[in-house]
């Protein structure tokens, strides 16, 4: 598996990127296209965790679009699959890089987490915004 190659190269962690919103990536279900199939994300993470001894993390967006916000569900699935951390971008795939990140989605996902570390992402361009995100969530 690719995760084992990453580990063999000496990396400290391997990250599954389910956040890329670019059409050429999502058209085959990769990147944020995986947000449409949370169970598959869990299966991939579980296989990665079984294949390596380094921590496995995952990066997602809030959901595919405003009608399918599923960051908290994916947080629970990722945790059950053995991921050690999840980075959640507050925008949906539909938003791509436009509009405002909704930190409320990160906050809800953080509440759903038991032991997985939740990392907030989106509209953090300086230390002040980072502190605001931390306080919000």
Provide the annotated active-site residues: 20
Rounded distance between C-alpha atoms, residue 52 and residue 135, angstroms: 34
**Sign of the alpha-carbon torsion through 34, 37, 43, 45:** positive
| Paired tokens of 7 | 């580990």
| φ and ψ of 113, to 5 deg | -75, 140
CA dihedral 86, 92, 96, 99 (to 10 degrees): -110
| Paired tokens of 136 | 């919000």
């Amino acid at each position: 598996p690719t995760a084992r190659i990453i580990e063999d190269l000496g990396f400290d962690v391997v990250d599954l990127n389910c956040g890329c919103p670019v059409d050429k990536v999502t058209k085959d279900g990769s990147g944020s296209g995986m947000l449409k199939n949370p169970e598959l994300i869990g299966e991939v993470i579980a296989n990665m965790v079984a294949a390596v001894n380094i921590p496995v993390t995952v990066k997602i967006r809030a959901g595919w679009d405003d009608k399918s916000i599923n960051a908290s569900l994916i947080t629970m699935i990722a945790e059950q699959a053995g991921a050690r951390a999840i980075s959640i971008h507050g925008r949906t795939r539909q938003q791509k890089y436009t509009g405002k990140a909704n930190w409320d989605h990160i906050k809800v996902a953080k509440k759903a987490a038991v032991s997985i570390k939740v990392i907030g992402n989106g509209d953090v361009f300086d230390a002040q915004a980072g502190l605001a995100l931390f306080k919000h969530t």
